[in-house]
Amino acid sequence: MTRDCTQHTCREFVSVLASAAPAPGGGGAAALVGAVGAALGNMVGALTVGKKKYAAVEGEIAALMEKCDALQTALLDQVAADAESFEPLARAYGIPKDDPSRADVIEAATVAACEAPLRIMELCCEAIRAVAVFAEKGSRLAVSDAGCAAACCRAALESASLNVLINTRALRDRALAEGMNARVEAMLGEYVPMADRVYKAVRAGLV
């Protein structure tokens, strides 16, 4: 399978995910789930635009759909980006322990391996903001899909965070590590509750 697993079937992706292959892993899975969440938000939008009942919000929804199109693409791109950033780290750990450059190479590769999951988190935060609007103003016929979108985006956000934290704990540069950790906690602190509110509001309207 190529690095860009999104070019393969869902069954192929899941099969490799379940194997001993180093990638795709948790980061790639998070990116894919985030893209699914953004797509579900767009589904709500697609079922909203063009309906007389929602004419007052059509412009806003249409603009949001364009944003989510971009988010879907960006998140899918992160599947390959995460795999590419992990490979140098895997190679670095294969450097002989008596090689004096080993520690520095591992440190640099570890920092680089944090970039994709941090970006995935940022994109998921944007998707959650969009989903909140879809849930509030989009078609009531698709409100359950907005709730599903929120759940997917939250899962992707939290999953990506773990892929940052497993790397920052290994960094020797603790100031850099704590800075990354602070970014993670800030995103989780704001957007997990936001996704929860969307999900719970949707669920409350269905039971």
First vs last C-alpha separation in the chain: 44
Using alpha carbons, select from 136, 155, 154 the residue that is nearest to residue 146: 136
3-class DSSP assignment, residue 151:
helix
- CA trace torsion 50, 54, 60, 66 (10° rounding): -40
Residue 53's H or E segment, with its range, is none
Confidence at residue 56, expressed as pLDDT on a 0 to 100 scale: 97
- Residue 18 belongs to some domain of the structure: no
Contact between residue 115 and residue 85 where contact means Cβ atoms under 8 Å apart: yes
- Residue 59 belongs to some domain of the structure: yes
- Residue 69 belongs to some domain of the structure: yes
Q: What is the pLDDT of residues 55-76, one digit of tens each?
A: 999 999 999 999 999 999 999 9
Give the chain's domain count.
Answer: 1
**For the domain that residue 106 is a member of, what is the CATH number?**
1.20.120.680
The rounded mean pLDDT for the chain is 95
Contacts of 203 (CB under 8 A, 6+ apart): 147
pLDDT band of residue 1 (cuts 50, 70, 90) is: very low
Q: Is 202 left (phi over 0), alpha (psi -120 to 50) or beta?
A: alpha
- Residue 19 belongs to some domain of the structure: no
Q: What is the pLDDT of residues 105-158, one digit of tens each?
A: 999 999 999 999 999 999 999 999 999 999 999 999 999 999 999 999 999 999
- Residue 98 belongs to some domain of the structure: yes
pLDDT at 2 over 60: no
**Domain containing residue 147:** 27-204
Contacts of 4 (CB under 8 A, 6+ apart): 79, 80
pTM confidence score: 0.94
Compute the distance between CA of residue 195 and CA of residue 37 in angstroms, rounded to an integer.
Answer: 11
Compute the distance between CA of residue 82 and CA of residue 87 in angstroms, rounded to an integer.
Answer: 9
Q: What is the pLDDT of residues 72-82, one digit of tens each?
A: 999 999 999 99
Task: Count other C-beta atoms under 10 Å from residue 162's C-beta.
Answer: 14
